[in-house]
Structure 1
Amino acid sequence: MKLNSKRELKSWGKSLMIAFGVVFFVRTFLFAPYIVEGASMEPTLHNQEKIFVNKLNFTDSFSRGEIVIIKGKEVNYVKRIIGLPGDTILMRNDNLFINGELVKEPYLLQNLKLAKEIGSQRLTGDFGPITVPKDKYFVMGDNRLKSKDSRNGLGYFTKNQFVGQSEFVVYPFSNIRETE
């Protein structure tokens, strides 16, 4: 009986080590939870929501419109990629132009309506044209009135500063959804 108990204990220990190893690998290289802090991405993401971040397919190419987690100097940021390397960005009258073409931003509709209701003239102040430097990315929050981003202090980011892409909200359970 003693021999069987040692063998069983060793087997359980081995199983636990493998499980911890798999969890460590998945969390480090594939997926990770992240807590949204602040209102800069509202209404897309809300303060204190927990999101799942995909690290797997996030090493080579990035697309305009993706919601990304960015490693800052002291804190991480959740922002939307607006400009890719070499893009020329211009904002006029709440209209975003990239490389001279109007870009539709459907994720801003609710905030545009709210800005008008509270008497703000614009959701996004005019700026540009600016050209995104080589190997850099320009990001903004969806809540343009309350977002610190590439326009106002954070500057440009390199792909090495991107931690991953937001995939879906996992908490609170009543708000589980994909992020857009």
Structure 2
Amino acid sequence: MTTRQPAPLSASPTSALRVLLLPGWLDSDTAHWQTRWEQRHGDQRVTQDDWLWPKRGDWMSRLEEVLLQDDRPAVLVAHSLGCQLVAAWAAHSQHTPRVAAALLVAPPDVERDDMPPQLAPWRPIVRQRLPFPSTVVVSRDDPYCAPERAAEMAAQWGCEWVSVGDRGHLNGESGLGDWPQGRALLDALLART
């Protein structure tokens, strides 16, 4: 596991790839950087049938379905529960070679006792090493995951680990806007692949 500061790149390597946005529990609202990326960059949101009571198997099936709709390689850009989705899906799918990389932002610690009951089906956390290059992005004051637990998940998944300081859950309430720092992290990840 390595920690580094993001460095913006001038050219975006995402042009030949599909960027699949994987929102977390309750979806990403209009102020969320994922929604803004969808509008600004044309990234594709993977829409789930049930955002309120998410079932891990259902979400994994939906990701697989969307991934198989197009032959182009995909990069997965996950927020919150979407990070747990990537780990669970990658541990079971035969189609992981279709994924070029994954950016995992603010993974929640779904094993904590104070998590909402809707997230109980996501226990235990899948800890298998991811078969594609990945970066975990965390905030030191994320209310849903202590930095130590995020670092532990990143290490188990075989991911690079990047801290962006005190930014909450890195969601719409964090005031990130279009979050150019996150896009630079995505570009840097793809440049490595």
TM-score (norm 1): 0.23
Higher-Rg structure is 1
Q: What's the TM-score once normalised by structure 2's chain length?
A: 0.22
If asked which structure has higher relative contact order (CA below 8 Å, sep 6+), I would say 2
